Each structure stands twice: as C-alpha cells, then as structure tokens.
Chain A
C-alpha cells in the first residue's frame, strides 16, 4: 500500500493531492501540508472551496454565473494546450465591474475553452446575447452583401460608416494564452494571405515592432494605429504580453479596408469610409473577408467557426458574427431627448462616443451601432442598422424612425 502510494506520488505531473487536517481555523482555509516521504517536494493543493474567488463585490457575467459548484467541477479541467478555468476568469476576478456597466468577465484561451468550460460559458453567453442558448440554437452566417436593401444615409448627418469583426485562425491559441511562436505564426499566416489581395483591396503591412516614425505618424493621423492596451479588462487577461511582438496593422492603399493583427483577437477586420454609404462599406467588408478566407484556405488554414457559436473570438461578447456595424452621426437634438436611450434599446442599437467604447460623445456626434452579435446573421444585423436610420426630415433633424418609435 505504501509503495503504490509513493510510486503514484512521485509522478508529480499526474497527481493532485488534497490534504485536509483538522484543527484548521474556522474559516476552513488553512491547510497543513503533510510531509510525505516520497521525497519529491509537492505542490500545495487546496480544495475548490479554498480557491473559489471572492465575488461578493462583483458585477460581471462571470460572477453572476460562477457558482461554487460549477467552479469545483471545472477548476481541475484544462484545454489541450493547458488553459485552465482560473486563467479564463482571471480578468473577471481582477475587474469587479461597474454597477451600471456589466462586463463579461472571462475570456477564451483557445477554441476548446468554449467546450471544456461550457458549463460556465453557456449561461454567460445566454445572458450576454439576449437569451441565445448555445445548447439548442444555431447561429446563421450570411456574408452575401447583395441582399442588402438601400443603405445610403444622408451625409449631412452621417459622417462616416464602418463595419468591423474579428477572425481567429483555427489551431492556434487565442491572445490570452498564445505563446510567442504561436502569435508570430498568426502574423505570418495572415500577412502572407493579405499579400494576395488585389485591386481595391491591395495593401501593405506595418509591423508594430519595425514601423518607422513616419509610418507611425501617418497611421495615427489616419486613426488606424492601435496601441498597447491599458484597460485592465484586457491586460489582466494576458493579451498584452510580449508587446509589441508580432503585432501590426495592414490596410489597403485606399485606406478603406484595415486589419489589426494580434490585438485583442488574432485579427480584427474593418471596412470603412467617410460618408453614409453603408451598403458599399458592407459590400467591401464581405468581399474582403471572403477573399482573405479563401487565401488562408489555400495555405491550409481556416477560421475558427462552428454552428453553435458562429465565429469564435477571444471575448464571449464577440461570438457569432463578431460584427459591429455603425456610423458616426450628428444627433444633437435627438440625443437630448429623454427618450433617446429607450429608442436605442428598442432598436437594438448602442451608442458610444466617437473615440470608441468608454468615450463620451463630442459635439452631439455619436457612434451608433448594433447591439447584437450572436443569433442573427451579418446581413440581418446590417439591414437592421440600415432600417433604423432614415435620412433627413423636413425639419432637418435626423430621427430614427421605425414602428417602435410610436410604441414609446
């Protein structure tokens, strides 16, 4: 008995040992490590209850759904690359959140995270995506831009139009968990594929590590340059490690199609232009995405995607389409209307300042975009945004008109 015991103990990689000793303080946290004669020093291990995070002051989706029971069940599991539950939830533990803004509070380290930790992720996804149940529902993907009806806005109000999404390369770990070599591989694969783009999509790559001062200034002036994240929501998840290694920006010569590499996701794909031609922006978006997908497939790679969750990205909030289609629009009068928030809610729209998430609107100009990501296709979401906007009115006030307006 003793010999099999020591034999098992000596295999440090395959054994977890829980030790419980009476006489610990009432809290039950304190555990006394037994001195085992197996020889090799052991890791101190604690029961799940001693490791369970203190979430009493937290207000994020992870904290709402991570019960001690779920934690106990999942805390010893890991994905094939070794990513654990504790790693996934670290950002949510470290960032309790805000009473009015509910952040997600966890990330995926790889595609398998969504399966291995499904017991936590599924309810989080359901809450975040307006009731979408990944256990029973399927997500439609539709990048056929020709289906879009109308979609050109009044440029007296709509200053610019933009559609963005993200894509992950299957087989490589996501930014919270990737090694330096994996990250460099993502860069290599994507940059290689992008070099195959032609016509109005042809462009150039600017690596963050080697760009010149001049290139950097130009990218800043174009509002293309992304910088090392400072938000603790991101840094606590580990996505800023090894910055700026293998990070970069690619854009086409016309500056209407832009790709970020290895920022919060493997890739972020952005199509945009000044003015209100959302239809054209989306058309270029779909064309570009499909072309990039074809090019990486030629090289033996593919995007992370499945029927349940659509396109797989780092943050559960970006699953499905990962799509945010929006405009910068002048709404100085409407935005002062006390019903503005409710109007947006009813239309499934979201407002942000023109500096992006967490910024304030400047001069009555707002960034208005779709709220939903998962459960509707790209075409459906963009059409919704388009339908929500009607150009002009005889009073020169841009209003958002839909039947819902009259339901207020």
Chain B
C-alpha cells in the first residue's frame, strides 16, 4: 500500500532506456560477431589485456549488470590505455598537465598533503611508469560488476593481488587497538604519516556509471553523515562547484583540493563526467581527517598528520570510518562489502582494504643500497617519490607504503608499514654511522 502510494510506475517501451554514458550500450553490437567486436589488444600491456581472451569476450559480451553496465564498459579504459606502447597514458598526462590552469598546485618538495605531496592535489600517483606495477585496465560500474563479469574480474584480481583466489576470504579488522606500537616512528626521519582508503555506498552505481541524480544523492547522504561527526572529527564540507575563491585557496594551501582528473586512465572510464557536479571535500577543523566525495570512488577517507605517530593516525582513521559507517547505517545505507572481496571500490586494485598506509621518510643512504628494492619487496612495501609523479625522491625523502590491499586486514597492513619503516630507519642509521646492515636483512613476509 505504501509502495503504491509512493511509487510511480513508468512503462518504458523498447528501445530500452538504460543508464547514461557508455557508448557501449549500443545495441547494434549484437549484429556483429564477437570476433568482429573484439578489441585489438596487440599493443597492450595491462591486466585486462593479459586476461581477456576472445572466448571470454564472446561469453560475456551480451551480459549486463542490473543497472545496465556491460563488458565493453568495464574494459573501455583498458582498451584506450594500452600501457606500454607509443600511446603511453603518461605522455597524454604530461601534455594535459601543461594545459592546466595555474591554480593547480605546483609539484615540488611539498609538505605532505592529502595527496601525499603529489602534483595533483587530490590525485595520488597512479604509478603509470612504475616498473613493477601494471595498470589494471578495467573498472566496475556497480557492485554486481564483480559478479556478473567474474570470468574476467577474478583472474585480473588474482594477477593483481598476488594470487588471491576466487575462493579466498578477506578479513576486515578496523580495531586500532590490535596494532602493536606505531606511535614512535623516529620523527627525525619520518616526516609525516597517512592512511587512506575508499568506501562505496551500497545500492548506488559507481563513478564510471552513475547518473547525475545518483551522484547528487551520494553527495547529499555523505554531507548528512559527515555533518553529524563530533569532537575532533567535527568539520565542514566544501562543494567543488560552490566554493569561494578564499576557500579554494585555503584548500590548495592545505594540499587538500582535488581537481578534475586529467589522467586518461580515469577519463576513459567515465568517472569525470558532469564535473564538478556533486563533488566536494570535507575535512575536520583540525585538518587531520579528510573525505573526498565522488572523485574516483564514492568516498575516499584520509587520515594524516605530521611526524611519525602512525598509531594515532590509524586510530583516528578507524574511529572516523566506523563512525561514518554507523551514521550511514542509521539512515538505512551500508557500505559495499563482502567476505570475498572486502570493501568494493571502482578499481579492482583497491579491493579488500582499499588501504594505503604510508609515511614520508628520509632514507638517503638506504635508498642507494643495492638491495633497497629487494628489502622493500620482502617487507611488502612500495616506494614512490614525494615530489610528484615520476620524480625521483627529493632529498632522499620517499613515500613508503604497503604494496598489498586484498588478503590482509587493515591492522595487518599498517603493522607491516610500521615494522617495515622502523627497520628501514634503523638501517638508515647504521649506514649513516658507516656500519653494515646485513644482519638486519628481513625475511620475505
């Protein structure tokens, strides 16, 4: 009865109207054989291209998720960004960067901000040129993508997440009490600490596929939830399209402001549509807890501060996340999560915890050691420059973070970072004193 009062039904005759965007909803594609439609992946070097065979394509191409997301939608970004050919996405990125407006923050040895000091205030280094990290080449348009297209997604996930099997389960642990230590990373070396993750709101399409109405609803829900936060988490929302010049400048100075993505990896998937509609930044008054709304994911949650107290950063992270989740639940919404994939996000590389915990740390000596790469690998850590994409670390300062996302819990990953960074700092001190570090070499974790 209530449903009848509240619902208006609309019969839509054929042709079916399905979600906007996705030129790949073209119905004529079924007039052609799978072979005629199969993309040319001969120049490609991304996870999707390695996995997608003509057989898999033929099997999945007429399927769609309940919201109408198709296989062609999933793979478009991977087709358009080969990875290692003359069409390097990085080259386009550099070209477009030069065309950007002057308000964008200049890359340099910038203090750690939400972006980790990277050139695009909001954009993390998506490791386009990292020798060990291949781009994923596919995205999800909704939660069901991972299920409907599992014949493609499962092998991509397995490849990307160190052999994670379709039958594996992922453990979620956001109890910061379970972390050992982490409050005393030497601040003479560790300049700042940061933890980030993402969350998606169940029942809504993800950024590559959502309509304007959905995106606005997500923004509205997020604002309501975040406005209810109290204490040291109390803060304010800044919508990208409404902010004043002053607010904008302040956010730039704080290194919080994210801008419209320029990376072709993101643009090709459709997540930048309708920019800047329903996008915004929320942060607490202390500027230690930050949430991005409707950028690459529904929500990106970041906790950070100067110095080496990773424990405090992680505690605030967990507290904040849990509170936000409760606030959403009170309004009848939950986060996308399941036992197998953990938290579900747009990019398969961010499944599980979606967590990147890292520090900016001075390692001028260790980084020059011939075994630096091997040490990081064994510690399950990853290095990035702090001065912007593709720059070498400036002044020997590196961004060191966990390499894994899925198959380990949040606590486990942060523990790895804490323990690993402590070890690296000890090695640094030894090398500074002219001593050897062979006895400190770690085992493979």
Are A176 and B23 touching (Cβ within 8 A)? Answer: yes
Residues of A near B14 (CB, < 8 A) are 14
Task: Say which one of A233-241, A276-284, A307-315 lies at the interface with B.
Answer: A233-241
With A243-B87, A245-B39 as given contacts, are A14 and B16 in contact (CB-CB < 8 Å)? Answer: yes
Give every chain B residue within 8 A of A245 (Cβ-Cβ). Answer: 39-40
0 or 1 for each of B22-42: is its CB under 8 Å from A? (1 = yes):
011111110111001111100
B43-61 to A contact mask, C-beta < 8 Å, 1/0: 0000000000000000000
Could you tell me if A15 and B12 are in contact, using CB atoms closer than 8 angstroms? yes
Interface residues of A in 215-247 (CB under 8 A from B): 228, 230, 235-236, 238, 240-245
Q: Judging by beta carbons under 8 Å apart, are B80 and A27 in contact?
A: no
- A residues less than 8 Å from B16 (CB atoms): 13-14, 78, 82
Contact indicator B87/A43 (Cβ below 8 Å): no
Q: Is B203 an interface residue (CB 8 A)?
A: yes
- In this complex, the member of B21, B204, B211, B221 whose beta carbon has the largest number of chain A beta carbons within 10 angstroms is B211
B23 touches A241 (CB 8 A): yes
A80 pairs with B15, CB closer than 8 A: yes
Q: Which residues of B contact A14 (CB under 8 A)?
A: 11-14, 16
B21 with A86: CB separation less than 8 A: yes
Please encode chain B, from 65 to 82, with 1 for each CB lying within 8 Å of some chain A CB and 0 for all others: 011100010001001100
When distances are taken between beta carbons in the complex, the residues of chain B under 8 Å from A29 are: 213, 216-217, 220
Which B residue sits closest to A50, measured CB to CB? B213
| A179 in contact with B29 given A54-B241, A230-B95 (CB within 8 Å) | yes
Given contacts A13-B16, A54-B277, A76-B17, contact A82 B27 (CB under 8 A): yes
Bound form: Cα–Cα A50–B278 in Å? 12
Q: Does A390 contact B (CB under 8 A)?
A: no
Q: Does A228 lie within 8 Å of B87, measured CB to CB?
A: yes
Contact between A31 and B217, CB atoms less than 8 A apart: yes
Stretch at the interface among B2-10, B171-179, B395-403: B2-10
User: For chain A residues 69-96, which have a beta carbon within 8 Å of chain B?
Assistant: 76-84, 86-87, 90, 93-94
Nearest B residue to A49 by beta-carbon distance?
B213
Asked whether, in the complex, the Cβ of A243 is within 8 Å of the Cβ of B12, the reply is: no
At the interface, yes or no: A177 with Cβ under 8 Å from chain B?
Answer: yes
A21 to B217, CA, bound (A): 13
- CB A73 to nearest CB in B, in angstroms, measures 13
> Would you call B217 and A30 a contact (CB within 8 A)?
yes
Contact B15 A78 (CB under 8 A): yes
Name the residue on B nearest A14 (C-beta).
Answer: B12
* Pick from B4, B36, B80, B220: contact of A240, CB under 8 Å: B80
Q: Is A12 an interface residue (CB 8 A)?
A: yes
A44 touches B204 (CB 8 A): yes
- Other-chain residue from A15, A57, A83, A235 in contact with B11 (beta carbon distance below 8 A): A15
Say which size band chain A's interface belongs to. Answer: 35 or more
Given contacts A44-B204, A94-B273, contact A16 B10 (CB under 8 A): yes
Give the complex CA separation of A168 and B282 in angstroms: 48
Residues of A within 8 A of B110 (CB): none
The yes or no answer to B272 lying at the interface (CB within 8 A) is: yes
| Cα–Cα, bound, A127→B275 (Å) | 26
Interface presence of A180 (CB below 8 A): yes
Q: Is B27's CB under 8 angstroms from A80's CB?
A: yes
| Pair A17/B66 contact, Cβ less than 8 Å | no
Please, which residue of chain A has its CB at the minimum distance from the CB of B221?
A: A30
B36 → chain A closest CB, angstroms: 4
A254 smallest CB distance to B (angstroms): 30
Per the bound structure, the CA–CA distance linking A230 and B205 in Å amounts to 28
Question: Could you count the A-B residue pairs with CB atoms below 8 Å apart for me: how many are there?
Answer: 183
Interface segment out of the listed A33-41, A59-67, A262-270: A33-41
Task: With A82-B18, A235-B267 as known contacts, state yes or no: A12 contacts B66, CB within 8 Å.
Answer: yes
Knowing A94-B272, A94-B274, the reply to whether A83 touches B26 (Cβ < 8 A) is: yes
Quick check: is B214 within 8 A (CB to CB) of the other chain?
yes
Is A143 part of the binding interface, using a Cβ–Cβ cutoff of 8 Å? no
Residues of B within 8 A of A179 (CB): 24, 26, 28-29, 32, 37, 72
Which residue of A8, A184, A241 contacts B79 across the interface (Cβ within 8 Å)? Answer: A241
Q: For B203, what are the chain A residues with a Cβ–Cβ distance below 8 Å? A: 33, 44
Report the contact-size class of chain B (Cβ under 8 Å from the partner): 35 or more
Is B372 close to A, CB under 8 A?
no
Q: Closest chain B residue to A18 by CB distance?
A: B8
Given A12-B66, A53-B274, check contact A181 B15 (CB 8 Å): no
Please, which residues of chain A bring their CB within 8 A of the CB of B274?
53, 90, 93-94
User: Does B19 make an interface contact (CB < 8 A)?
Assistant: yes
Asked if B20 is at the interface of the complex by the 8 Å CB criterion, the answer is: yes
Closest Cβ of chain A to B203, distance in Å, is 6
User: What 1/0 mask marks residues of chain A from 138 to 182 whose CB sits below 8 Å from any chain B CB?
Assistant: 000000000000000000000000000000000001001111111
Contact between B216 and A241, CB atoms less than 8 A apart: no
Q: Is B96 an interface residue (CB 8 A)?
A: yes
A236 to B268, alpha carbons, bound, how many Å? 9
Cα-based distance from A180 to B80 in the complex (angstroms): 12
The smallest C-beta distance from B364 to any residue of chain A, in angstroms, reads: 39
Asked whether, in the complex, the Cβ of B6 is within 8 Å of the Cβ of A53, the reply is no
Q: Which residues of B contact A54 (CB under 8 A)?
A: 241, 277
B249 to chain A, nearest CB (A): 19
Is A19 positioned at the interface, with any CB of B under 8 Å from its CB? yes
In this complex, the member of A16, A53, A228 whose beta carbon has the largest number of chain B beta carbons within 10 angstroms is A16
Residue pair A230, B32 in contact (C-beta under 8 Å): no
Measured between beta carbons, the chain B residues less than 8 angstroms from A243 are 80, 87
Is B183 at the interface (CB under 8 A from chain A)? no
B144 interface residue (CB < 8 Å to A): yes
Interface bits B127-143 vs A (CB < 8 Å: 1, else 0): 00000000000000000
Further pairs besides A19-B8, A242-B39: 15, Cβ < 8 Å: A12-B66, A17-B10, A18-B7, A19-B7, A25-B220, A25-B224, A43-B68, A46-B213, A81-B26, A93-B273, A93-B274, A180-B39, A209-B40, A228-B87, A230-B96
Residues of B within 8 A of A (CB): 2-4, 6-21, 23-29, 31-33, 36-40, 66-68, 72, 76, 79-80, 87, 92, 95-96, 144, 203-205, 211-214, 216-217, 220-221, 224, 241, 267-268, 272-275, 277, 332
Can you list 9 A-B pairs with a CB-CB distance of less than 8 A? A14-B16, A42-B66, A43-B66, A43-B67, A53-B212, A78-B16, A81-B26, A82-B18, A230-B95
4 residue pairs, one from A and one from B, having the closest CB atoms? A46-B213, A86-B20, A181-B32, A50-B213
